[in-house]
Structure 1
Protein backbone atom coordinates (compact mmCIF):
# COMPACT_ATOMS: atom_id res chain seq x y z
CA UNK A 1 0.00 0.00 0.00
CA UNK A 2 1.19 3.54 -0.76
CA UNK A 3 -0.18 4.89 2.50
CA UNK A 4 -2.50 4.37 5.44
CA UNK A 5 -5.85 5.96 6.24
CA UNK A 6 -6.35 7.75 9.55
CA UNK A 7 -9.63 9.06 10.98
CA UNK A 8 -9.70 11.26 14.09
CA UNK A 9 -5.93 10.72 14.25
CA UNK A 10 -6.38 6.94 14.60
CA UNK A 11 -5.43 4.34 12.02
CA UNK A 12 -8.38 2.80 10.14
CA UNK A 13 -8.06 -0.99 10.26
CA UNK A 14 -11.35 -2.08 8.67
CA UNK A 15 -12.57 -1.08 5.19
CA UNK A 16 -16.22 -0.92 6.32
CA UNK A 17 -15.50 1.21 9.40
CA UNK A 18 -17.88 4.22 9.64
CA UNK A 19 -17.31 7.68 11.14
CA UNK A 20 -19.38 10.86 11.59
CA UNK A 21 -19.26 13.33 8.71
CA UNK A 22 -17.30 15.87 10.73
CA UNK A 23 -14.40 13.50 11.52
CA UNK A 24 -11.13 14.48 9.85
CA UNK A 25 -9.82 11.77 7.48
CA UNK A 26 -6.28 11.77 6.08
CA UNK A 27 -3.90 9.51 4.20
CA UNK A 28 -0.41 9.28 5.64
CA UNK A 29 2.31 8.13 3.34
CA UNK A 30 3.98 4.89 4.38
CA UNK A 31 7.77 5.53 4.46
CA UNK A 32 8.35 1.84 3.62
CA UNK A 33 5.80 0.83 0.97
CA UNK A 34 6.93 -2.81 1.04
CA UNK A 35 6.78 -5.63 3.57
CA UNK A 36 10.36 -4.75 4.51
CA UNK A 37 12.96 -2.07 3.78
CA UNK A 38 14.62 -4.48 1.37
CA UNK A 39 12.03 -3.47 -1.21
CA UNK A 40 13.15 0.15 -0.98
CA UNK A 41 16.75 -0.89 -1.53
CA UNK A 42 16.05 -3.11 -4.53
CA UNK A 43 13.78 -0.49 -6.13
CA UNK A 44 16.68 1.94 -6.12
CA UNK A 45 18.93 -0.66 -7.74
CA UNK A 46 16.39 -1.57 -10.45
CA UNK A 47 15.97 2.11 -11.30
CA UNK A 48 19.68 2.95 -11.22
CA UNK A 49 20.65 -0.09 -13.30
CA UNK A 50 17.70 0.38 -15.70
CA UNK A 51 16.51 -3.19 -15.19
CA UNK A 52 13.13 -4.07 -16.71
CA UNK A 53 11.67 -7.22 -15.14
CA UNK A 54 8.23 -7.01 -16.76
CA UNK A 55 7.09 -10.46 -17.83
CA UNK A 56 10.31 -12.04 -16.60
CA UNK A 57 11.14 -14.82 -14.16
CA UNK A 58 13.20 -14.08 -11.06
CA UNK A 59 14.93 -15.99 -8.29
CA UNK A 60 15.40 -14.27 -4.94
CA UNK A 61 17.99 -15.90 -2.69
CA UNK A 62 17.61 -14.92 0.95
CA UNK A 63 13.98 -13.82 0.62
CA UNK A 64 13.30 -13.46 4.38
CA UNK A 65 10.20 -11.26 4.88
CA UNK A 66 10.00 -10.62 1.15
CA UNK A 67 11.01 -7.03 0.47
CA UNK A 68 12.87 -7.99 -2.70
CA UNK A 69 10.09 -10.38 -3.74
CA UNK A 70 7.41 -7.71 -3.43
CA UNK A 71 9.53 -5.17 -5.29
CA UNK A 72 10.04 -7.62 -8.17
CA UNK A 73 6.32 -8.37 -8.37
CA UNK A 74 5.40 -4.70 -8.36
CA UNK A 75 7.98 -4.12 -11.09
CA UNK A 76 6.11 -6.64 -13.25
CA UNK A 77 7.87 -9.98 -12.77
CA UNK A 78 5.72 -12.86 -14.00
CA UNK A 79 7.00 -15.26 -11.37
CA UNK A 80 9.40 -15.10 -8.42
CA UNK A 81 11.06 -18.09 -6.77
CA UNK A 82 11.70 -17.16 -3.13
CA UNK A 83 14.44 -19.17 -1.42
CA UNK A 84 15.37 -18.87 2.25
CA UNK A 85 17.14 -20.99 4.86
CA UNK A 86 14.51 -20.11 7.46
CA UNK A 87 10.83 -20.94 7.75
CA UNK A 88 7.65 -18.91 8.22
CA UNK A 89 9.45 -15.64 7.42
CA UNK A 90 7.82 -14.63 4.14
CA UNK A 91 4.97 -12.16 4.66
CA UNK A 92 1.54 -13.76 4.44
CA UNK A 93 0.50 -11.47 1.60
CA UNK A 94 3.33 -12.81 -0.54
CA UNK A 95 2.96 -16.37 0.70
CA UNK A 96 -0.58 -16.34 -0.70
CA UNK A 97 0.41 -14.76 -4.02
CA UNK A 98 0.21 -17.31 -6.85
CA UNK A 99 3.13 -15.64 -8.61
CA UNK A 100 5.44 -16.58 -5.72
CA UNK A 101 6.99 -20.04 -5.54
CA UNK A 102 8.33 -20.45 -2.02
CA UNK A 103 11.18 -22.75 -1.08
CA UNK A 104 11.79 -22.55 2.67
CA UNK A 105 14.30 -24.30 4.92
CA UNK A 106 16.64 -24.42 1.94
CA UNK A 107 20.38 -23.73 2.02
CA UNK A 108 20.93 -22.00 -1.32
CA UNK A 109 24.57 -23.13 -1.36
CA UNK A 110 23.34 -26.59 -2.27
CA UNK A 111 20.60 -25.66 -4.73
CA UNK A 112 20.48 -27.90 -7.78
CA UNK A 113 18.79 -27.05 -11.04
CA UNK A 114 16.01 -29.58 -10.46
CA UNK A 115 15.14 -27.81 -7.20
CA UNK A 116 13.90 -24.82 -9.21
CA UNK A 117 13.46 -26.31 -12.66
CA UNK A 118 13.90 -23.23 -14.86
CA UNK A 119 16.35 -20.50 -15.75
CA UNK A 120 15.92 -16.87 -14.71
CA UNK A 121 15.96 -13.46 -16.32
CA UNK A 122 17.05 -11.93 -13.01
CA UNK A 123 18.52 -13.33 -9.81
CA UNK A 124 18.70 -11.25 -6.64
CA UNK A 125 20.81 -12.16 -3.61
CA UNK A 126 20.56 -10.71 -0.11
CA UNK A 127 22.10 -12.95 2.54
CA UNK A 128 23.69 -12.43 5.97
CA UNK A 129 26.28 -14.24 8.09
CA UNK A 130 27.84 -15.80 4.99
CA UNK A 131 30.13 -14.57 2.23
CA UNK A 132 28.45 -13.68 -1.03
CA UNK A 133 31.12 -15.74 -2.79
CA UNK A 134 29.48 -18.92 -1.53
CA UNK A 135 26.20 -18.03 -3.24
CA UNK A 136 27.36 -16.75 -6.63
CA UNK A 137 28.27 -20.15 -8.12
CA UNK A 138 24.96 -21.82 -7.17
CA UNK A 139 23.10 -18.78 -8.50
CA UNK A 140 24.78 -18.95 -11.90
CA UNK A 141 23.24 -22.38 -12.50
CA UNK A 142 19.87 -20.68 -12.88
CA UNK A 143 20.95 -17.72 -15.00
CA UNK A 144 19.53 -17.74 -18.50
CA UNK A 145 21.74 -16.49 -21.38
CA UNK A 146 21.56 -12.72 -21.24
CA UNK A 147 20.22 -12.84 -17.68
CA UNK A 148 21.48 -10.67 -14.84
CA UNK A 149 22.30 -10.95 -11.16
CA UNK A 150 21.87 -8.18 -8.60
CA UNK A 151 23.75 -9.11 -5.44
CA UNK A 152 23.99 -7.19 -2.18
CA UNK A 153 27.50 -7.03 -0.73
CA UNK A 154 27.70 -6.71 3.06
CA UNK A 155 31.31 -5.92 4.03
CA UNK A 156 30.83 -7.03 7.65
CA UNK A 157 30.36 -10.60 6.42
CA UNK A 158 33.29 -10.46 3.99
CA UNK A 159 36.16 -9.09 6.09
CA UNK A 160 37.90 -11.12 8.76
CA UNK A 161 36.25 -11.26 12.18
CA UNK A 162 38.99 -9.07 13.67
CA UNK A 163 38.52 -6.37 11.03
CA UNK A 164 34.96 -5.53 12.06
CA UNK A 165 34.73 -2.42 14.23
CA UNK A 166 32.63 -1.55 17.25
CA UNK A 167 29.00 -2.57 16.91
CA UNK A 168 29.82 -4.82 13.96
CA UNK A 169 30.36 -1.81 11.68
CA UNK A 170 33.00 -1.67 8.93
CA UNK A 171 33.97 1.98 8.45
CA UNK A 172 37.41 1.69 6.86
CA UNK A 173 37.09 2.80 3.21
CA UNK A 174 40.12 0.75 2.25
CA UNK A 175 38.61 -2.44 3.65
CA UNK A 176 35.31 -1.79 1.93
CA UNK A 177 36.97 -1.17 -1.44
CA UNK A 178 39.07 -4.32 -1.03
CA UNK A 179 35.91 -6.35 -0.33
CA UNK A 180 34.24 -5.00 -3.46
CA UNK A 181 37.31 -5.67 -5.59
CA UNK A 182 37.66 -9.22 -4.21
CA UNK A 183 34.00 -9.94 -4.98
CA UNK A 184 34.29 -8.52 -8.50
CA UNK A 185 37.42 -10.57 -9.19
CA UNK A 186 35.78 -13.72 -7.86
CA UNK A 187 32.69 -13.19 -9.99
CA UNK A 188 34.81 -12.77 -13.12
CA UNK A 189 36.47 -16.12 -12.40
CA UNK A 190 33.01 -17.71 -12.53
CA UNK A 191 32.20 -16.21 -15.91
CA UNK A 192 30.07 -13.24 -14.90
CA UNK A 193 31.00 -9.60 -15.41
CA UNK A 194 30.47 -6.83 -12.82
CA UNK A 195 28.78 -4.08 -14.81
CA UNK A 196 27.96 -1.55 -12.11
CA UNK A 197 28.17 -0.91 -8.36
CA UNK A 198 25.71 1.10 -6.29
CA UNK A 199 25.67 1.93 -2.60
CA UNK A 200 22.36 0.74 -1.16
CA UNK A 201 20.15 3.12 0.83
CA UNK A 202 20.25 2.61 4.59
CA UNK A 203 17.23 2.60 6.84
CA UNK A 204 19.41 3.97 9.65
CA UNK A 205 22.63 5.94 9.26
CA UNK A 206 24.38 3.92 11.96
CA UNK A 207 23.93 0.68 10.02
CA UNK A 208 26.65 -0.88 7.86
CA UNK A 209 27.06 0.38 4.34
CA UNK A 210 25.97 -2.15 1.73
CA UNK A 211 26.56 -2.27 -2.02
CA UNK A 212 24.67 -3.68 -4.97
CA UNK A 213 26.67 -5.23 -7.79
CA UNK A 214 25.02 -5.78 -11.17
CA UNK A 215 26.38 -8.82 -13.02
CA UNK A 216 25.98 -10.02 -16.58
CA UNK A 217 27.24 -13.15 -18.29
CA UNK A 218 30.38 -12.89 -20.41
CA UNK A 219 28.35 -14.12 -23.40
CA UNK A 220 26.13 -11.05 -23.08
CA UNK A 221 29.19 -8.80 -22.91
CA UNK A 222 30.74 -10.36 -26.04
CA UNK A 223 27.63 -10.15 -28.21
Structure 2
Protein backbone atom coordinates (compact mmCIF):
# COMPACT_ATOMS: atom_id res chain seq x y z
CA UNK A 1 0.00 0.00 0.00
CA UNK A 2 1.27 3.52 -0.57
CA UNK A 3 0.19 6.91 0.65
CA UNK A 4 1.67 9.94 -1.08
CA UNK A 5 4.36 7.80 -2.70
CA UNK A 6 5.43 6.12 0.56
CA UNK A 7 5.12 2.38 0.95
CA UNK A 8 3.39 1.26 4.13
CA UNK A 9 3.27 -2.22 5.63
CA UNK A 10 -0.10 -3.91 6.19
CA UNK A 11 -1.47 -3.51 9.70
CA UNK A 12 -0.86 -6.50 12.01
CA UNK A 13 -3.61 -9.11 11.91
CA UNK A 14 -4.66 -8.07 8.41
CA UNK A 15 -4.41 -9.87 5.08
CA UNK A 16 -5.21 -9.15 1.45
CA UNK A 17 -8.83 -9.98 0.68
CA UNK A 18 -7.92 -12.19 -2.29
CA UNK A 19 -5.43 -14.11 -0.13
CA UNK A 20 -8.07 -14.60 2.58
CA UNK A 21 -10.38 -16.22 0.01
CA UNK A 22 -7.61 -18.70 -0.85
CA UNK A 23 -6.81 -19.38 2.82
CA UNK A 24 -10.47 -20.18 3.50
CA UNK A 25 -10.72 -22.50 0.49
CA UNK A 26 -13.22 -20.30 -1.37
CA UNK A 27 -10.86 -19.91 -4.35
CA UNK A 28 -8.09 -22.15 -5.69
CA UNK A 29 -5.65 -19.31 -6.43
CA UNK A 30 -5.31 -15.59 -5.81
CA UNK A 31 -5.99 -14.99 -9.51
CA UNK A 32 -9.28 -16.88 -9.21
CA UNK A 33 -10.11 -14.98 -6.01
CA UNK A 34 -9.48 -11.72 -7.84
CA UNK A 35 -11.75 -12.83 -10.68
CA UNK A 36 -14.52 -13.75 -8.21
CA UNK A 37 -14.22 -10.38 -6.48
CA UNK A 38 -14.20 -8.44 -9.75
CA UNK A 39 -17.25 -10.40 -10.95
CA UNK A 40 -19.16 -9.41 -7.81
CA UNK A 41 -19.44 -13.01 -6.61
CA UNK A 42 -18.11 -12.43 -3.09
CA UNK A 43 -20.17 -10.89 -0.27
CA UNK A 44 -17.91 -9.26 2.28
CA UNK A 45 -18.96 -8.14 5.75
CA UNK A 46 -21.85 -8.89 8.10
CA UNK A 47 -25.17 -9.75 6.41
CA UNK A 48 -26.83 -6.38 6.99
CA UNK A 49 -23.83 -4.47 5.61
CA UNK A 50 -22.37 -7.01 3.15
CA UNK A 51 -20.93 -5.58 -0.04
CA UNK A 52 -19.81 -7.12 -3.32
CA UNK A 53 -17.65 -4.22 -4.52
CA UNK A 54 -14.49 -4.81 -2.50
CA UNK A 55 -11.03 -4.65 -4.08
CA UNK A 56 -8.86 -7.81 -4.21
CA UNK A 57 -5.82 -6.09 -2.66
CA UNK A 58 -7.74 -4.49 0.19
CA UNK A 59 -6.27 -5.28 3.62
CA UNK A 60 -8.92 -6.90 5.83
CA UNK A 61 -9.16 -8.61 9.22
CA UNK A 62 -8.61 -12.38 9.27
CA UNK A 63 -12.02 -12.92 10.89
CA UNK A 64 -13.99 -10.92 8.30
CA UNK A 65 -17.26 -12.58 7.21
CA UNK A 66 -16.99 -13.71 3.56
CA UNK A 67 -19.47 -15.69 1.47
CA UNK A 68 -19.65 -16.64 -2.19
CA UNK A 69 -22.72 -15.44 -4.03
CA UNK A 70 -24.77 -18.28 -5.52
CA UNK A 71 -23.18 -19.67 -8.66
CA UNK A 72 -24.20 -17.84 -11.76
CA UNK A 73 -24.98 -19.81 -14.93
CA UNK A 74 -21.53 -18.92 -16.30
CA UNK A 75 -18.08 -18.34 -14.81
CA UNK A 76 -18.61 -14.60 -15.31
CA UNK A 77 -21.35 -12.21 -16.35
CA UNK A 78 -19.83 -12.10 -19.82
CA UNK A 79 -21.52 -15.44 -20.53
CA UNK A 80 -24.96 -13.92 -20.11
CA UNK A 81 -23.98 -11.01 -22.35
CA UNK A 82 -22.80 -13.34 -25.13
CA UNK A 83 -25.84 -15.62 -24.85
CA UNK A 84 -28.05 -12.57 -25.40
CA UNK A 85 -26.03 -11.57 -28.46
CA UNK A 86 -26.04 -15.10 -29.93
CA UNK A 87 -29.83 -15.22 -29.54
CA UNK A 88 -30.32 -11.72 -30.97
CA UNK A 89 -28.14 -12.43 -34.02
CA UNK A 90 -29.29 -16.03 -34.50
CA UNK A 91 -25.77 -17.48 -34.15
CA UNK A 92 -25.49 -21.14 -33.13
CA UNK A 93 -22.07 -22.31 -31.90
CA UNK A 94 -23.06 -26.00 -31.94
CA UNK A 95 -20.17 -28.18 -33.16
CA UNK A 96 -18.13 -25.13 -34.20
CA UNK A 97 -14.49 -24.34 -33.51
CA UNK A 98 -14.49 -20.94 -31.82
CA UNK A 99 -12.06 -18.19 -30.88
CA UNK A 100 -12.71 -16.07 -27.78
CA UNK A 101 -10.64 -12.87 -28.00
CA UNK A 102 -10.28 -11.17 -24.62
CA UNK A 103 -11.28 -14.33 -22.77
CA UNK A 104 -10.35 -13.11 -19.27
CA UNK A 105 -12.26 -15.31 -16.76
CA UNK A 106 -13.97 -17.13 -19.61
CA UNK A 107 -17.62 -16.08 -19.54
CA UNK A 108 -17.83 -16.09 -23.35
CA UNK A 109 -15.92 -19.40 -23.52
CA UNK A 110 -18.30 -20.93 -20.97
CA UNK A 111 -21.34 -19.75 -22.94
CA UNK A 112 -19.94 -21.18 -26.19
CA UNK A 113 -19.30 -24.55 -24.54
CA UNK A 114 -22.75 -24.66 -22.94
CA UNK A 115 -24.20 -23.90 -26.37
CA UNK A 116 -22.36 -26.89 -27.89
CA UNK A 117 -19.06 -25.55 -29.27
CA UNK A 118 -16.67 -28.35 -30.19
CA UNK A 119 -13.55 -26.38 -29.17
CA UNK A 120 -12.77 -22.86 -27.95
CA UNK A 121 -9.42 -21.11 -28.26
CA UNK A 122 -9.46 -18.68 -25.30
CA UNK A 123 -7.05 -15.85 -26.10
CA UNK A 124 -6.07 -13.12 -23.64
CA UNK A 125 -3.03 -10.93 -22.99
CA UNK A 126 -3.38 -11.57 -19.25
CA UNK A 127 -2.49 -14.75 -17.43
CA UNK A 128 -4.06 -16.83 -14.71
CA UNK A 129 -7.52 -15.34 -15.23
CA UNK A 130 -9.29 -18.20 -16.99
CA UNK A 131 -11.55 -20.10 -14.57
CA UNK A 132 -10.10 -23.41 -13.42
CA UNK A 133 -13.17 -25.31 -14.65
CA UNK A 134 -12.43 -24.06 -18.18
CA UNK A 135 -8.67 -24.45 -17.90
CA UNK A 136 -9.09 -28.20 -17.29
CA UNK A 137 -11.81 -28.68 -19.91
CA UNK A 138 -10.38 -30.66 -22.86
CA UNK A 139 -12.46 -28.56 -25.28
CA UNK A 140 -10.66 -25.36 -24.23
CA UNK A 141 -7.22 -24.30 -25.44
CA UNK A 142 -5.92 -21.47 -23.25
CA UNK A 143 -3.84 -18.94 -25.15
CA UNK A 144 -2.99 -16.68 -22.24
CA UNK A 145 -0.27 -14.05 -22.51
CA UNK A 146 -1.15 -13.82 -26.21
CA UNK A 147 -1.96 -10.53 -27.92
CA UNK A 148 -4.50 -10.79 -30.74
CA UNK A 149 -1.95 -9.40 -33.21
CA UNK A 150 -0.08 -12.73 -32.80
CA UNK A 151 -2.78 -14.20 -35.05
CA UNK A 152 -1.37 -12.23 -37.99
CA UNK A 153 0.92 -14.46 -40.10
CA UNK A 154 3.37 -11.56 -40.57
CA UNK A 155 3.89 -11.17 -36.81
CA UNK A 156 7.38 -12.39 -35.83
CA UNK A 157 5.84 -14.36 -32.93
CA UNK A 158 2.77 -15.52 -34.85
CA UNK A 159 0.45 -18.08 -33.29
CA UNK A 160 -0.94 -20.65 -35.70
CA UNK A 161 -4.23 -22.22 -34.69
CA UNK A 162 -4.17 -25.93 -35.59
CA UNK A 163 -7.68 -25.92 -37.04
CA UNK A 164 -9.93 -23.44 -38.84
CA UNK A 165 -12.12 -21.20 -36.70
CA UNK A 166 -15.72 -20.71 -37.84
CA UNK A 167 -16.90 -18.41 -35.02
CA UNK A 168 -14.97 -15.67 -33.24
CA UNK A 169 -16.31 -13.67 -30.31
CA UNK A 170 -14.61 -10.52 -29.07
CA UNK A 171 -14.82 -8.69 -25.75
CA UNK A 172 -11.91 -6.30 -25.40
CA UNK A 173 -11.82 -3.19 -23.27
CA UNK A 174 -8.32 -1.74 -23.50
CA UNK A 175 -8.02 -1.65 -27.28
CA UNK A 176 -10.31 -0.53 -30.08
CA UNK A 177 -12.11 -3.17 -32.13
CA UNK A 178 -10.70 -1.53 -35.25
CA UNK A 179 -7.22 -2.48 -34.05
CA UNK A 180 -8.03 -6.17 -33.52
CA UNK A 181 -10.51 -6.91 -36.29
CA UNK A 182 -7.91 -7.48 -39.03
CA UNK A 183 -6.17 -10.19 -37.00
CA UNK A 184 -9.46 -11.82 -36.02
CA UNK A 185 -10.81 -11.84 -39.58
CA UNK A 186 -7.56 -13.47 -40.71
CA UNK A 187 -8.11 -16.30 -38.21
CA UNK A 188 -11.73 -16.98 -39.20
CA UNK A 189 -12.31 -19.24 -42.18
CA UNK A 190 -14.24 -17.87 -45.18
CA UNK A 191 -17.96 -17.85 -44.43
CA UNK A 192 -17.28 -17.74 -40.68
CA UNK A 193 -18.92 -15.44 -38.15
CA UNK A 194 -17.60 -12.72 -35.85
CA UNK A 195 -19.62 -11.42 -32.89
CA UNK A 196 -18.15 -8.31 -31.28
CA distance in 2, matches of 1:59, 1:53: 11
Q: What displacement does 1:31 show?
A: 7.5
Gaps of at least 5 residues in structure 2 are: 1-68, 154-158
Q: Conserved in 2, the CA contact under 8 Å of 1:118 and 1:142? A: no
Q: What displacement does 1:91 show?
A: 0.2
Q: Conserved in 1, the CA contact under 8 Å of 2:151 and 2:187? A: no
Whether 1:36 and 2:71 are equivalent positions in the alignment is no
Task: For 1:59-208, list aligned pairs within 5 A.
Answer: 59-112=99-152, 114-151=159-196
TM-score of the pair, normalised by structure 2: 0.60
For residues 157-201 of structure 1, give each alpha carbon's deviation from its aligned partner in whole angstroms, at most 9, with x where no partner exists.
Answer: xxxxxxxxxxxxxxxxxxxxxxxxxxxxxxxxxxxxxxxxxxxxx
Q: Conserved in 2, the CA contact under 8 Å of 1:32 and 1:40? A: no
How many residues were matched structurally? Answer: 123
CA distance in 1, matches of 2:141, 2:187: 15
Distance of aligned partners of 1:68 and 1:96 in 2 relative to their CA distance in 1, 3 Å threshold: same
CA distance in 2, matches of 1:111, 1:145: 16
Gaps of at least 5 residues in structure 1 are: 1-28, 152-223
1:52 maps to 92
Q: Conserved in 1, the CA contact under 8 Å of 2:167 and 2:193? A: yes
CA distance in 1, matches of 2:194, 2:150: 18
Q: What displacement does 1:48 show?
A: 1.0
CA distance in 2, matches of 1:98, 1:31: 22
Corresponding residue SS for 2:84: helix
Superposition RMSD on alpha carbons, in Å? 1.6
TM-score of the pair, normalised by structure 1: 0.53
Q: Conserved in 1, the CA contact under 8 Å of 2:102 and 2:125? A: yes
Q: What displacement does 1:33 show?
A: 1.1
Q: What displacement does 1:117 show?
A: 2.8
CA distance in 1, matches of 2:190, 2:151: 19
CA distance in 1, matches of 2:152, 2:163: 11
Corresponding residue SS for 1:76: coil
CA distance in 2, matches of 1:142, 1:83: 12
